[in-house]
Structure 1
Amino acid sequence: MANHRLVKLIWIFTEKFGLIFLSMITFVAYARLMSPAELGVGTVIIVIVEMFAILYSSMLEDPLVRLERLEEKHICTAFWFAVLISLASIVVISFAAMLYTKSSVLQWMTAVASVKILFTMMARVYVVEMRRTGNFKMLASRTLLGKVAGGVGGIAIAFWGFGAWAVIAQALIMEFVSIVVLMLGNRRRIAFYIDGPFLRELLTAGAPLAINVMSSQTLQRGVNVVLGITAGAHAVGMFNMAMRIIDLPRSAIYNGLLSYALPVFARRGSDTARLIEVISDSTAISGFLLTPLFVGIALTAEDIILLIFGAKWADAIPLLQVLACTAAIGNTAMYAMTALVAVNRTHLIVKAELATTLLALALVYSLGHLYAGMAAAVALLARMVIMTPLQVRGLNTAIGYGWRVFIESNYRSMIASLIMAAAVVLVSPYLDFRGYWHLAANIGIGTLTYALAYSALHPRWPQEFKSVFTAR
């Protein structure tokens, strides 16, 4: 059982860390070949399209994963509903683009990009089946192959000077290759059939989750849209640069951990004491790895931006520092939503999600013309500071996961990360290194300091973390 669990995790993180590597190559190429404005235009268009896909996906995928039995009629219903709503969305988005802008180029970009919704939604039932059966090898293969194909296509188009089209082409190619791989790996005929009562039941179960996910995604992606309206494409490009550096590791690692965690939490949903223990262990291990990662990104932001992406992106440095701190705070309650999904209590934080999202977007709208990308970065930080205690309160109401458990799960990684930050800030000015050697020296000092500080706070951490994957 333990070996089977480790194999699943290995395939999950083969996919996710492979994505980090491939995404970084692509993003560095875009930073070199495109201007901030071109990157901003492509980003805004893809963000608008992906918001539709995320809404539909969140309404269908996790409720299907949570079903006790997944029957053929369930698969047919979900698949064809996904196809029909995707086609309708393509028409609506294309028509809206014609009304919003007179630029034929932007109209065509938006219409072509909207096809991504169809590819994304067609894949959902295949992904559900593989998550339910633990076939993370196939999930990893389709994502990595799609990312390679999309990255090559996007870089080629950027190299030929087509600007924002590169971002759109990458997204489309990646989703198309992914669905082709899934269909070839699971050859089946999905009959045209929609079970009305089951569809209503599925959408009812998925609606609270979709609201929560859309609240979070509207914040992350909607910020780009609002920022574009108030501060222009250049500000979006700078903010997106900083956000992508954070999102590359965060999305890859979070998605891998949460994809694995949902079925694990769901199996323990009826035993709240055991579920609290699993959440606490998972939070402690994730914080051990992720909190120093994001604090470290904040400490080395200047070197990362100037050395890897170039001086034209220097305005993104303070944005990256604020967003990295936001991600570090977010690690402390990263499993909250997944745990609430597992026990079907997501409604407990729906209002909080919506209210804090609207507050953050309002901050961006009101301050974007004055502070450009920094308005968006600070808005995300403010929302995280407000939302984290509300998530803990929701968990406490649902399963009794209170502040004592929350603090016990996080205090070691937070204290050790602060000690690491102090060491790097104090020592870095005296280092006689430049360029990549300076970056490497800071990473080395930070890693050593963190390891020593964490070990002093928790001497038995290797044995305890190992037991999570073996004995439990």
Structure 2
Amino acid sequence: MANRRLITLGWIFTEKFGLIFLSMITFVAYARLLSPAELGVGTIIIAIVELVGLVYSSVLEDPLVRLERLEEKHISTAFWASVIVSLLSIVMISGAVMLYTPDPLLRWMTAAASVKILFTMMARVYVAQMRRSGNFKMLASRTLLGKVFGGVGGIAVALWGLGAWAVIAQALIMEFVSIIVLMRAEPRRIAFYIDLRFLRELLKAGTPVAINALSSQTLQRGVNVVLGMTAGANAVGMFNMAMRIIDLPRTAIYNGLLSYALPVFSRRSAEPGRLLGILGDSTAVSGFVLTPLFIGIALTANDLILLIFGAKWAEAIPLLQVLACTVAIGNTAMYATTALVAVNRSQLTIKAEVLTTVLALALVYGFGNVYGGMAAAIALLARMLIITPLQIRGLNAAIGYGWQRFFDSNYRSVTASLVMAATVSYASAQSGLQGYLHLIGNVVIGALSYAVTYSVMHPRWPQEFKSVFTSR
């Protein structure tokens, strides 16, 4: 059992880190082959289409994963409802862009890109089934294959001089290859059947999840838009530099862990005691790795930016430090939303998610012209400080995960990280090292001080963490 879980996690992270590596390659290629305007047009069109697809996916996929039994009628209902909604969306998006712009090129690109919604939604049933069964090897394979074929196709289109079509071609090829791989891996004939009662239940369970996902995506995209309106392009550039450094490890690690966690939590949703145990253990294990990682990024921000990206990005250093601390705080309740989805109680935090998103955007709008990118970083920090207690309150109401369990799961990693921060700050000032030696020295000192402090507080942590994969 332990080996199976470790293999599952291995495939999850192979997918996530592989996607990041491939994304970096294609991004560099596009930066050289496309003009900023071409890249921007393609990115904006795909972002709009993906936002629509994200909302639909959230409504269907997670509720399907958490079902106690997934029957053929459920599969048929979800699949054909997805197809019908996708086709209607393609027509609506194509019609809307015709009213919005007279440019035939933009019309054709948007209409073509909207087909991505159909491919994405057709895959939801297959993805949900494989998440339920733990077949993360196939999920990783289809995503990586899609990314490879999509990247090659997109770069080829860019080499042919077709501009923004490259970004759209990549997205379409990636989704098309992904759905073909899934269908070949699990061939089945899905009868045309829609159970309206089940569909209503699915929509009822999935709507809060979709609103939470939409809130998160609105925050990510909206901060840049509002910051650009109030502080200008330079502030947006600095903020995005810092955010990109944070997002690369966060996206890979968080998505991998949360993708694995939902089916695990769902299987224990009827047994609150076991769910509380695995939630606390998962938080402790994740915090052991993630809290010092992001505190470490904050401590080494100066060296990371100046050595790797150059002095012209020096303004991004304090932004990176604030954002890294924001994510470190978020680590303490990173499974909250997933646990609420598992017990079908995600509506408990939906108002908090929406209101804190609006608050963050309002802060950026109010202070962006004075503080630039720091206004956006502080807004995200303020939102995290507000939303985390509200998430714990929601968990307590749903499954009894209160502040004592929250403290027990996090105090060791937080304490050891603070000791690490103090040790690195003192040693860094005294070492006299420069450049990469200074960076490496800080990393080594930080890792050693954290490991020693954590081990003193919890000598049996290796055995306890191993039990997460062998028990419950």
Same topology, TM > 0.5: yes
Instruction: Mark the CA change 1:430 to 1:21 in structure 2 (over 3 Å): closer, same or farther.
Output: farther
Deviation of 1:202 after TM superposition, in Å, equals 1.2
Report whether the alignment pairs 1:207 with 2:207. Answer: yes
The residue type paired with residue 452 of structure 1 is V
* 1:129 corresponding residue in structure 2: 129
The residue type paired with residue 203 of structure 2 is L
Q: For 2:174 and 2:295, locate their aligned partners in 1 and report how far apart those are by CA, in whole Å.
A: 31
* 1:468 corresponding residue in structure 2: 468
Aligned with 2:332: secondary structure? helix
* 2:378 corresponding residue in structure 1: 378
Listed as ranges, the matches of 1:271-282 within 5 Å are 271-282=271-282
* 1:224 corresponding residue in structure 2: 224
Instruction: Mark the CA change 1:11 to 1:254 in structure 2 (over 3 Å): closer, same or farther.
Output: same
Cα pair 1:31 1:309 within 8 Å, conserved: no
Q: For 1:244 and 1:404, locate their aligned partners in 2 and report how far apart those are by CA, in whole Å.
A: 34
Aligned with 1:59: secondary structure? helix
* 1:440 corresponding residue in structure 2: 440
Deviation of 1:31 after TM superposition, in Å, equals 6.5
The residue type paired with residue 90 of structure 1 is I
Q: Residue deviations 1:346-371, cap 9 Å, x none?
A: 12111111111111122233334444
Moved more, 151-160 or 237-246: 151-160
Q: For 1:331 and 1:182, locate their aligned partners in 2 and report how far apart those are by CA, in whole Å.
A: 32
Identity of aligned residues (%): 76
How many pairs are equivalent? 472
* 1:252 corresponding residue in structure 2: 252
Aligned with 2:275: secondary structure? helix
Cα pair 1:40 1:234 within 8 Å, conserved: no
Deviation of 1:415 after TM superposition, in Å, equals 1.5
Deviation of 1:380 after TM superposition, in Å, equals 1.5
* 2:50 corresponding residue in structure 1: 50
Listed as ranges, the matches of 1:22-421 within 5 Å are 22-27=22-27, 43-100=43-100, 109-154=109-154, 167-231=167-231, 235-310=235-310, 313-421=313-421
The residue type paired with residue 394 of structure 1 is G
TM-score, structure 1 as length reference: 0.89
Instruction: Mark the CA change 1:394 to 1:113 in structure 2 (over 3 Å): closer, same or farther.
Output: same
The residue type paired with residue 179 of structure 2 is I
Q: For 2:39 and 2:103, locate their aligned partners in 1 and report how far apart those are by CA, in whole Å.
A: 17
Q: For 1:251 and 1:156, locate their aligned partners in 2 and report how far apart those are by CA, in whole Å.
A: 27
Cα pair 2:12 2:256 within 8 Å, conserved: yes
Q: For 1:34 and 1:437, locate their aligned partners in 2 and report how far apart those are by CA, in whole Å.
A: 37
Deviation of 1:56 after TM superposition, in Å, equals 0.6
Moved more, 141-150 or 153-162: 153-162
* 2:423 corresponding residue in structure 1: 423
TM-score, structure 2 as length reference: 0.89
Q: For 2:158 and 2:234, locate their aligned partners in 1 and report how far apart those are by CA, in whole Å.
A: 18
Q: For 2:82 and 2:232, locate their aligned partners in 1 and report how far apart those are by CA, in whole Å.
A: 34
Q: For 2:342 and 2:248, locate their aligned partners in 1 and report how far apart those are by CA, in whole Å.
A: 26
Instruction: Mark the CA change 1:180 to 1:4 in structure 2 (over 3 Å): closer, same or farther.
Output: same
Deviation of 1:206 after TM superposition, in Å, equals 1.1
Cα pair 1:47 1:222 within 8 Å, conserved: no
Aligned with 1:470: secondary structure? coil
Q: Residue deviations 1:221-244, cap 9 Å, x none?
A: 333344455555665454333323
Deviation of 1:280 after TM superposition, in Å, equals 0.7
* 1:14 corresponding residue in structure 2: 14
The residue type paired with residue 422 of structure 2 is A
Deviation of 1:27 after TM superposition, in Å, equals 4.8
Deviation of 1:135 after TM superposition, in Å, equals 0.9
Instruction: Mark the CA change 1:151 to 1:244 in structure 2 (over 3 Å): closer, same or farther.
Output: farther
Deviation of 1:330 after TM superposition, in Å, equals 0.6
Q: For 1:377 and 1:40, locate their aligned partners in 2 and report how far apart those are by CA, in whole Å.
A: 23
The residue type paired with residue 347 of structure 2 is H
The residue type paired with residue 294 of structure 2 is F
Instruction: Mark the CA change 1:290 to 1:163 in structure 2 (over 3 Å): closer, same or farther.
Output: farther
Q: Residue deviations 1:392-439, cap 9 Å, x none?
A: 011111111111110111111112112222233333345555544443
Instruction: Mark the CA change 1:460 to 1:163 in structure 2 (over 3 Å): closer, same or farther.
Output: farther
The residue type paired with residue 252 of structure 1 is A
Deviation of 1:248 after TM superposition, in Å, equals 2.1
Instruction: Mark the CA change 1:48 to 1:314 in structure 2 (over 3 Å): closer, same or farther.
Output: farther
Q: For 1:457 and 1:235, locate their aligned partners in 2 and report how far apart those are by CA, in whole Å.
A: 42
Instruction: Mark the CA change 1:334 to 1:37 in structure 2 (over 3 Å): closer, same or farther.
Output: farther
Aligned with 2:459: secondary structure? coil
Cα pair 1:40 1:237 within 8 Å, conserved: no
Aligned with 1:333: secondary structure? coil
Instruction: Mark the CA change 1:338 to 1:40 in structure 2 (over 3 Å): closer, same or farther.
Output: same
Deviation of 1:269 after TM superposition, in Å, equals 1.8
Root mean square deviation of aligned Cα? 2.9
Aligned with 1:114: secondary structure? helix
Cα pair 2:66 2:267 within 8 Å, conserved: no
The residue type paired with residue 294 of structure 1 is F
**Structure 1: which 5+ runs fail to align?**
none
